[in-house]
């Protein structure tokens, strides 16, 4: 009896979750994705500069490629704030094209890593990880964002 | 018979057009290594026509027009006139030149390089332009004769036979055309660069981003802990060639040096400079350090504002930002440049610097003087860094009126 009652309750409690994300959730979600990219590129950078052995290179590249593919979706809800400039949505065509290019280039780098090895893949890193260029145009400069 | 004359004429033209152009190209390279253009060009003005205001402790002085215009430039100068200006600091009309024009360094130029430089300068388009008058302090020129008698050692660079050709080339470029010591060597009471400790780092004056002239600290270039001891040869080569290396990114007055001079040098010349700099020894800083308490006060500010790019341990990274641990700017004997980069942010043009580092933001409006002092002290006392404490008063001075 308990089980019969509980089942619809669980279903009910799960259903609305997709739509109750408030603005802060949207901002937090895309921030989590960006922080994953940030941490993984930083880790890759340490390997590239020779500080850390390169055993995990392929894993880092795969995480970056997989995460890059999720990033555009996170910006689709038009919620200004966080570190995102309003230009993200004002110039959505350019923004989404560059996000797609980022996903494509990191996916290609991942493919190279699996097919030709990590050394070949690392040669593509600087060209694939052009975080700066997009941040220059679409991310709020730090001091203005807080205080 | 006529064909012979045509052939001879063609041969003569060919020869005369060929030889000078090789000299002109070599001269262009000397001018690049000497970075003439940065000082002899005013903002939005014609290249080499002068008029740039150069900050000195005696007030601003304006660079001269060195295009071959006969009336306002140096069009009437002979090669010997140029040689005398570079070697002895005396203009064609006999006036003593002020050492804002770095002839104490250019005097080391070889005869061949001076001849080539002359050939190159003659090919510039003459520009009619008279730079603004200098201030009162620069009216009297005769005291310069005394100053030179005391301070100027005239003569071309003499190679050290005990050292490699590469080292000597580097020494020549640094001491001669590159005139690195004009900023990186301290000046004594008479504003002469000290010969006792060349390139140990020095305070200079130059514009900060957004206008206004402030102090800067041109870092210790020797292999000391507060200087470039932690740099590999490749790091110096990268920095001079691209404006960024694994150790540092360019900002402030060094931007123009890299943009107009060092990045255009041949790779082997940048390497020679690096090899020479790495041979310079000096005393590691062991003076006053930031107290343990003051060293922690800025930690939270760092974690909230700086860590994302400079890393949890101040080491930066290729996709993060320049390292602060071991940085010659952070560890500088004077903190002026460290404070400037925090207050005003980075200011390099888009074509130099790391392709992946984001621009350093300006924190002048966000942080108080006390906060910037606390942050500076945190940086100057952690991760192996050691330097004298910074006070809020110093920050206020860098902020300006």
Q: What is the pLDDT of residues A29-88, one digit of tens each?
A: 999 999 999 999 999 999 998 889 999 999 999 999 999 999 999 999 999 999 999 999
pTM over 0.90: no
Are residues B327 and B235 in contact, defined by beta-carbon separation less than 8 angstroms? no
pLDDT tens sequence across B258-295:
999 999 999 999 999 999 999 999 999 999 999 999 99
**Chain B residues in contact with A126 (beta carbon < 8 A):** 318, 355-356
Say if the Cβ atoms of B308 and A48 lie within 8 Å: no
Burial of B151 (0-12, 13-18, 19+ CB in 10 A): middle
Q: Among residues 337-366 of chain B, which lie with CB inside 8 Å of chain A? A: 355-359, 361-363, 365-366
Instruction: Give the model's pLDDT for residue B188.
Output: 86
Please tell me the predicted confidence (pLDDT) of residue B12: 46
Scanning every residue of chain B, which has its alpha carbon at the shortest distance from the alpha carbon of A35?
A: B308
Per-residue pLDDT tens, chain B, 401 aa: give them: 444 444 444 444 444 445 669 999 999 999 999 999 999 999 999 999 999 999 888 888 999 999 999 999 999 999 999 999 999 999 999 999 999 999 999 999 999 999 999 999 999 999 999 999 888 778 888 888 888 888 888 999 999 999 999 999 999 999 999 999 999 999 988 888 887 899 999 999 999 998 899 999 999 999 999 999 999 999 999 999 999 999 999 999 999 999 999 999 999 999 999 999 999 999 999 999 999 999 999 999 999 999 989 999 999 999 899 999 999 999 999 999 999 999 999 988 778 888 889 889 999 999 999 999 999 999 999 999 999 999 999 999 999 98
Under the phi-then-psi rule, with left for phi > 0, alpha for psi from -120 to 50, and beta for the rest, what region is B61?
beta
Inspect the interface and report whether the beta carbons of A45 and B359 lie closer than 8 Å: no
pLDDT for res B14: 44
Q: What pLDDT score does A141 carry?
A: 79
Contact of A3 with chain B, judged by CB distance below 8 Å, is answered with no
CB B324 within 8 A of CB B382: no
d(CA B235, nearest CA chain A) in Å: 12
Contact B325, B314 (CB under 8 A): yes
For A135, the closest of B317, B358, B363 (CB atoms) is B358
User: For strand B53-54 and strand B213-218, is the pairing parallel, antiparallel, or unpaired?
Assistant: unpaired
* Plot region of B379 (φ>0 → left; ψ -120 to 50 → alpha; else → beta): alpha
Q: What is the ipTM of this complex?
A: 0.73
In angstroms, what separates the C-alpha of A76 from chain B's closest C-alpha? 25
On whether any CB of chain A is under 8 Å from the CB of B317, the answer is yes
Q: Burial code of B259-298, b = ≥16 C-beta within 10 A, e = fewer?
A: bbbbbebeeebbbbbbbbbbebebeebeeebbeeebbebb
Residues B204 and B218: beta-carbon distance below 8 Å: yes
The answer to whether B255 and B218 are in contact (CB under 8 A) is no
Interface of A with B in 90-129 (CB under 8 A): 126, 129
Q: Tell me whether A50 touches chain B (CB under 8 Å).
A: no
Interface contacts (A, B; CB < 8 Å): 45
Q: Which residues of A touch B317 (CB under 8 A)?
A: 42, 45-46, 49
- Chain A residues in contact with B305 (beta carbon < 8 A): 142-143
Rounded distance between C-alpha atoms, residue B392 and residue B379, angstroms:
15
In the 8-state DSSP scheme, what is residue B115? H
Q: Give the minimum alpha-carbon distance from B233 to chain A in angstroms, rounded to a whole number.
A: 15
Q: Is the CB of A132 less than 8 angstroms away from the CB of B358?
A: yes
Q: Is residue A18 very low, low, confident or very high in pLDDT (cuts 50, 70, 90)?
A: low
- B contacts of A147 (beta carbons < 8 Å): 366
Structure tokens at A115: 């097919």
Q: Please indicate whether, in this complex, the C-beta atoms of B366 and A135 are within 8 angstroms of each other.
A: no
Are the Cβ atoms of B362 and A143 closer than 8 angstroms?
A: yes
Whether residues B355 and A46 touch (CB distance < 8 A) is answered with no
Give contacts of A131 with chain B, Cβ < 8 Å: 319, 356, 358
User: Cβ contact (<8 Å) for A126 and B356?
Assistant: yes
Interface contact B318-A48, CB threshold 8 A:
yes
E strand or H helix at B205 = strand B202-207
Compute the nearest-CA separation of B119 from chain A (Å): 42
Whether A40 contacts chain B with CB within 8 A: no
- The shortest C-alpha distance from A82 to chain B (Å) reads 15
Closest-CA distance, A46 to chain B, in angstroms, reads 6
């Amino acid at each position: 009896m308990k089980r019969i009652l509980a089942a619809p309750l669980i279903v009910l409690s799960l259903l609305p979750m997709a739509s109750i994300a408030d603005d802060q959730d949207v901002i937090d979600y895309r921030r989590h994705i960006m922080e994953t990219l940030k941490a993984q590129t930083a880790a890759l950078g340490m390997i590239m500069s020779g500080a850390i052995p390169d055993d995990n290179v392929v894993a880092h590249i795969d995480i970056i490629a997989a995460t890059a593919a999720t990033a555009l979706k996170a910006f689709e809800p038009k919620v200004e704030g966080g570190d995102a400039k309003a230009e993200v949505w004002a110039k959505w065509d350019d923004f989404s094209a560059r996000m797609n290019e980022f996903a494509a280039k990191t996916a290609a780098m991942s493919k190279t890593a699996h097919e030709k090895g990590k050394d070949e893949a690392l040669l593509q890193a600087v060209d694939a990880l052009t975080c700066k260029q997009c941040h220059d145009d679409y991310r709020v400069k730090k001091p203005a964002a807080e205080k | 018979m006529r064909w012979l004359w045509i052939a001879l004429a063609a041969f003569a033209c060919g020869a005369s057009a060929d030889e000078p152009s090789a000299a002109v190209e070599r001269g262009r390279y000397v001018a690049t290594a000497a970075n003439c253009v940065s000082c002899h060009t005013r903002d939005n003005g014609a290249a080499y026509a002068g008029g740039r205001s150069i900050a000195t402790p005696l007030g601003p002085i304006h660079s001269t027009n060195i295009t071959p215009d006969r009336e306002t430039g140096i069009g009437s100068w002979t090669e010997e006139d140029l040689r005398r200006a570079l070697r002895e600091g005396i203009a064609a009309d006999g006036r003593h030149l002020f050492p804002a024009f770095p002839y104490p360094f250019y005097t080391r130029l070889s005869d061949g390089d001076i001849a080539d430089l002359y050939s190159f300068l003659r090919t510039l388009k003459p520009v009619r332009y008279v730079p603004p008058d200098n201030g009162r302090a620069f009216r009297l020129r005769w005291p310069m004769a005394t100053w030179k008698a005391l301070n100027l050692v005239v003569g071309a660079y003499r190679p050290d036979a005990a050292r490699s050709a590469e080292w000597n080339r580097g020494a020549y470029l640094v001491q001669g055309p590159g005139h690195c010591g004009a900023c990186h060597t301290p000046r004594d009471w008479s504003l002469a660069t000290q010969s006792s400790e060349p390139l140990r780092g020095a305070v200079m004056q130059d514009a900060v981003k957004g206008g206004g002239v402030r102090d800067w600290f041109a870092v210790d270039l020797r292999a000391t802990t507060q200087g470039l001891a932690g740099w590999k040869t490749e790091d110096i080569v990268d920095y001079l060639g691209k404006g960024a290396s694994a150790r540092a990114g360019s900002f402030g007055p060094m931007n123009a040096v890299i943009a107009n001079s060092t990045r255009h040098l041949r790779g082997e010349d940048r390497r020679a400079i690096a090899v020479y700099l790495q041979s310079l020894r000096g005393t590691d800083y062991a003076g006053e350090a930031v107290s343990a308490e003051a060293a922690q006060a800025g930690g939270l500010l760092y974690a909230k504002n700086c860590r994302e790019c400079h890393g949890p341990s101040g080491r930066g990274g290729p996709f993060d930002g320049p390292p602060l641990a071991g940085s010659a700017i952070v560890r500088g004997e004077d903190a002026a440049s460290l404070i400037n980069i925090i207050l005003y942010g980075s200011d390099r043009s888009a074509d130099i610097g790391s392709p992946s580092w984001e621009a350093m933001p300006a924190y002048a409006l966000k942080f108080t003087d006390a906060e910037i002092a606390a942050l500076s002290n945190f940086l100057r006392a952690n991760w192996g860094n050691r330097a004298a404490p910074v006070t809020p008063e110093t920050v206020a001075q860098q902020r300006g009126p």
